[in-house]
Every structure is written in structure tokens, then in C-alpha cells.
Amino acid sequence: MSIYDFTVKTATDETVSLEAYKGNVLLIVNTATGCGFAPQLEGMEQLFQTYKDKGFTVFAFPCNQFLGQEPLADGEIAAQCNLNYGTTFPFFKKVDVKGSNTHPLFNYLTNEAPGLFSGKIKWNFTKFLIDRNGNVVDRFAPSTKPEKIAPAIETLL
């Protein structure tokens, strides 16, 4: 199994198979516009711009499970992030990343890279790095700044 076995919904409710991104290096992140880590979106955009021509992209999955820090509607999130942080990478529909309604993709990600102490995602901006074969190769804490992930991305590219 790999991430290519999953489908996700775009912010405009279109179904996308992650198989369409086969051969790319991905950084999958649960985001929230009202989170104190939201300025990391600017750094994630910098990573995207630096490496997109080499087959890298960032996937943002908004989540409102942590203190209601994502109150915006799906259609508003990407626009606000573009306005405030200059983001151009893909944003998807809001998902649950923990609990009984966890999106299957995030169940897979947390099983493959459980993190410290438990597999649960404990906060917004948990980051999962995926190799060109769809394997989860690393997990980064919410406090890990995007620029610190650049060497791992370069290795996979």
C-alpha cells in the first residue's frame, strides 16, 4: 500500500486520486489559518517554488480539530492563504486527522510514521514527507520550520 491508493477531495469538491502524483515527492500537512504556526505557510510556499520543477509539491489539508483554528469554509481557505502568505500549492477539503472520523489518508500516514509516543496527530502543521514511490519517509513536528525539511526533500529529489 502507498498513498497512491487514496483519493481526496479538492476544496471545490472534486475527487482526485493521489496516483496522479506518482513519481513526485510530496509534503502533506494538516493546516489551519488561525494557528500560531500558520506563518509556516510562507516557508512551505518557498519550498514549493524552489523544488516544484524537480517534481515536488505541498498538499495542505485544513483541519478544524485543534481549538477551532480553521473556521473558514473550504472555498475561503486557499484564497486567504494566498492573500496572506502567497501560497499557490494545492489545498484540499477540511479533514479530520484524529478520532473516529479520521480521513483514511491520515490513518495511513500516522500508521506509517507514528511519531513520538503515539501515532496521533497532536496539533496543526504536522508534516509528512513522501518519496517518489508513495512511501512515507519522515514525519515532522508542528514546530519544525519548513526550511529545516529542505535537506530531506533534496535527498529524495
Read off the pLDDT of each residue in 35-61 and give the average, rounded to a whole number. 97
Residue 35 annotated as catalytic: yes
pTM greater than the 0.75 cutoff: yes
DSSP three-state, residue 59: strand
Task: Supply angle C-alpha 131, 4, 47, rounded to 5.
Answer: 40
In the prediction, which pLDDT does 113 show? 83
In the prediction, which pLDDT does 114 show? 79
Q: Tell me the domain boundaries of the chain.
A: 3-149
Distances (CA, A) of 154 to 36, 56, 84, 127, 136: 27, 10, 27, 16, 15
Read off the pLDDT of each residue in 22-48 and give the average, rounded to a whole number. 97
Read off the pLDDT of each residue in 9-19 and give the average, rounded to a whole number. 94
Is 70 exceeded by the pLDDT of residue 73? Answer: yes
Q: Which residues contact 116 (CB under 8 A, 6 or more apart)?
A: none
Q: 18 with 8: CB under 8 angstroms? A: yes
- Write the DSSP symbol of residue 128: E
Of 94, 99, 44, 39, the C-alpha closest to 64 is 94
The C-alpha atoms of residue 133 and residue 24 are separated, in whole angstroms, by: 8
| Average pLDDT value for the chain | 94
In the prediction, which pLDDT does 1 show? 85
The C-alpha atoms of residue 15 and residue 8 are separated, in whole angstroms, by: 6
Q: How confident is the model at residue 38 (pLDDT cuts 50, 70, 90)?
A: very high
Strand order in the sheet with 56-62: 56-62, 25-31, 127-130, 136-140
Catalytic residue among 27, 32, 35, 105: 35
CATH superfamily of 3-149: Glutaredoxin (3.40.30.10)
Q: How confident is the model at residue 120 (pLDDT cuts 50, 70, 90)?
A: confident
